[in-house]
A and B are shown apart, each in its own frame.
Chain A
Amino acid sequence: MAALISLEDVSKVYRMGDVEVQALQHVDLSIEEGEFVAVMGPSGSGKSTLMNIVGCLDRPTTGTYRLAGKEMGGLSRARLAEVRNRQIGFVFQHFNLLPRTSSLENVELPLVYAGLPARERQERALRALSRVGLADRADHQPNQLSGGQQQRVAIARAVVNDPHLIVADEPTGALDTRTSMEVMAIFQELGRAGVTILLVTHEADIGRCAGRIVTMRDGRILGDRRQTPLRADPARTPPLTAEATA
């Protein structure tokens, strides 16, 4: 099976004033379609940069990145926007919903840029909302929703375009343990439905819900192992881990 995501010798260098920051150094990574991958590592390890490149928000300085077999490095900003729109769904730590805008309209947003007519947008957005169990919150604005609900709206927005890939940057970082598990359960469900998921986290609990863990440090990949994912079950939380009792 061809890899959905393929990074070959990818490096990313930022210039901050006079200082050059090596955010990624010669990274090779290949992710098959349908995999649920957690990228872990301390802050500054380059996992966010990796995610931005995989999510087509950023371009590598050197090396090649192929998404579904297509080279992304040379694409214009407008073409990259199209790729994001059609093939990638984003979930962010701070939800990044449009304020004072209903859940339904937030979820519709990618479809607006896909150029779909209003009626179809609404139908698909409602379907995506029911997929995350929030069909009854379609008219609510973000400030009327709890953190977990907001993140579920964000996930609905990420899947509304039926993307191959969902890129999630610390999606549980702003949530308590119980709602974190709720959100992870949704990700696992999406994974079972065949969506490829790349999730950045530094929480071990969250990482255990993925089928593969990529560990990063100082812009390099340190480890890459497959595991049997732990089923995220909100009912069973909070688990009495050392972290929780400390």
Chain B
Amino acid sequence: MSPGTLARLAGRALGRNKMRSFLTTLGVVIGVAAVIAMTAIGEGAKVRVQQTFEAMGTNLLVVLSGSSATGGMQGGFGSQPTLTWDDLRSIQTELSAVKVAAAVLRASAVVQAEEQNWTTAVVGTTPDYLQIRNWGVSAGQKFGAEDVTSGTKVVLLGQTVVDKLYGPGANPVGRTVRIKMVPYQVIGVLARKGQSPMGSDYDDTAIVPVTTFQAKIQGGLGQFIPGAIFVGAVSADATGRAQQQISGLLRDRHRLGPGIEDDFSVRNLSEIASAQAQGTQVLTALLASIAAVSLLVGGIGIMNIMLVSVTERTREIGIRMAVGGKPADILAQFVAEALALSAGGGVIGVAVGVGAALLLAREFHWPTIIRVATVLVSLGFSAMVGVVFGLYPARKASRLDPIDALRFE
């Protein structure tokens, strides 16, 4: 029989039991829709993780003050300042894998404008920090090294802070804000960066020169850095080497003998980033495989109904054989029906899955990415499910004895 005849035959047979055909195909519809939607969500999550880590900074290492044990109590990292300004200078100058390094001090403080005020994370640092973070300004300009040297009272505002103090779209460059009663001139607005991988808002911040921070916000100049050191490695491949060099240098400088624990920690954020990306990949695979299982269940449903159908239509099979239907013709007819069920379910499933992904993206702002390859693989897989699960019932039909089949009541 020609493929056209087969297709027409299958369409007619399935059309006679519309409700049953629909319910049978539903398993595949749900399976394919789930695969499409799940991978769309997974891919979207992966890309978002990549983006957030890119926003965090490239080739980034963070050195934190260490846990020093006092009286048997192990403090958390950063609980006890152990990093000194001399440590920072050594990291900046002595290590081959390190491109730049910057001290980052933080305090929560109220930023006051003329009419509004907003509590935000005020950061004291050097221009190198902005370089490490790939952070530019959307208006005005950054402060320079001379501002750090002379401790000028200038501030860069994050976009969120600008929105809260002046309203969205305002350009506050040149205006004055007060932090802890001290007036600062706004010289720039930081480019929007979005969310951190942990979900906090990068743009909810105000950045001042580190010297100004020490003098006006934190108070007091010590030999220790009451914060972290952000380090930019020379390349992405060099982050591991930079990590080792920093550890070696600091152990040396802090005179930690063998067997004594580090009183600092060096975190390689690039590694965390790739681990996270891998994590989402595993998640995607997991979601997709769960969805694939439902596709399999759909296939079993098709097999079940095809078996019922073969029994119901035993007489029809007998008639077809009597007038000249070969076993291969009967096999082809039932495989075609199973294929039509599963492939039809696949097509509907793709539509539903794509629709669901678009809906999630529009209504809940989930990042979803639909890949053509996923759609094609799902369609191919659903068609395969039909053939595989249709084969057994079809074989059963083709092996019927025409005499018995004709006698079947």
State the A residues within 8 Å of B (CB).
52, 55, 57-58, 77-78, 81-82, 84-86, 90, 92, 96-100, 109-110, 112-115, 118, 157, 161
The answer to whether residues A92 and B406 also contact, given A78-B328, A81-B326, A85-B323 and a CB cut-off of 8 A, is: yes
- Tell me whether chain B's interface is mostly helix, strand or loop, or mixed: helix
The answer to whether residues A114 and B403 also contact, given A96-B319, A98-B319, A100-B16 and a CB cut-off of 8 A, is: no
- The proximity string for B residues 314-342 relative to A, scoring 1 for CB distances below 8 Å and 0 otherwise, is 01101111111111110000000000000
Is B74 at the interface (CB under 8 A from chain A)?
Answer: no
User: In the complex, are the beta carbons of B403 and A52 less than 8 A apart?
Assistant: yes
Interchain CA distance A214-B239 in the complex, whole Å: 100
Measured between C-beta atoms, what is the minimum distance from B395 to chain A in Å? 13
The answer to whether residues A113 and B322 also contact, given A57-B403, A58-B403, A96-B315 and a CB cut-off of 8 A, is: no
Interchain CA distance A115-B332 in the complex, whole Å: 14
Interchain CA distance A82-B318 in the complex, whole Å: 15
User: In the complex, are the beta carbons of B320 and A96 less than 8 A apart?
Assistant: no
A109, closest chain B residue (CB) = B323
Measured between C-beta atoms, what is the minimum distance from B403 to chain A in Å? 5
Is B5 at the interface (CB under 8 A from chain A)?
Answer: yes
User: In the complex, are the beta carbons of B323 and A113 less than 8 A apart?
Assistant: yes
Partner of A90, one of B5, B323, B328: B323
Interchain CA distance A99-B320 in the complex, whole Å: 12
Q: List chain B residues, Cβ under 8 A from A110.
A: 323-324
Q: List chain B residues, Cβ under 8 A from A115.
A: 1-2
Contact sample, A vs B, 6 pairs, CB 8 Å cutoff: A57-B402, A84-B322, A96-B319, A99-B316, A113-B323, A157-B323
Measured between C-beta atoms, what is the minimum distance from A87 to chain B in Å? 10
The answer to whether residues A78 and B327 also contact, given A112-B5, A113-B1, A115-B1 and a CB cut-off of 8 A, is: yes
Measured between C-beta atoms, what is the minimum distance from A90 to chain B in Å? 5
How many of chain B's residues have a CB under 8 angstroms from any CB in A?
A: 21
Q: List chain B residues, Cβ under 8 A from A52.
A: 403
The answer to whether residues A84 and B319 also contact, given A78-B328, A92-B406, A100-B16 and a CB cut-off of 8 A, is: no
B399, closest chain A residue (CB) = A77
Q: List chain A residues, Cβ under 8 A from B16.
A: 100
Interchain CA distance A89-B181 in the complex, whole Å: 107
**Most interface-central of B326, B328, B403 (chain A CB within 10 A):** B326
User: In the complex, are the beta carbons of A113 and B324 less than 8 A apart?
Assistant: yes
User: In the complex, are the beta carbons of B324 and A85 less than 8 A apart?
Assistant: yes
- The proximity string for B residues 166-178 relative to A, scoring 1 for CB distances below 8 Å and 0 otherwise, is 0000000000000
User: In the complex, are the beta carbons of A81 and B327 less than 8 A apart?
Assistant: yes
Interchain CA distance A98-B325 in the complex, whole Å: 14
Interchain CA distance A52-B403 in the complex, whole Å: 8
The answer to whether residues A57 and B324 also contact, given A98-B316, A112-B5, A115-B1 and a CB cut-off of 8 A, is: no
B16, closest chain A residue (CB) = A100
Q: List chain B residues, Cβ under 8 A from A92.
A: 406
User: In the complex, are the beta carbons of A96 and B318 less than 8 A apart?
Assistant: yes
Interchain CA distance A109-B318 in the complex, whole Å: 13
User: In the complex, are the beta carbons of B323 and A84 less than 8 A apart?
Assistant: yes
**Most interface-central of A90, A112, A114, A118 (chain B CB within 10 A):** A112
Partner of A81, one of B5, B315, B324, B406: B324
Q: List chain B residues, Cβ under 8 A from A113.
A: 1, 320, 323-326, 329
Q: List chain A residues, Cβ under 8 A from B402.
A: 57
A83, closest chain B residue (CB) = B324
Interchain CA distance A96-B317 in the complex, whole Å: 11
Measured between C-beta atoms, what is the minimum distance from B6 to chain A in Å? 10
Measured between C-beta atoms, what is the minimum distance from B347 to chain A in Å? 26
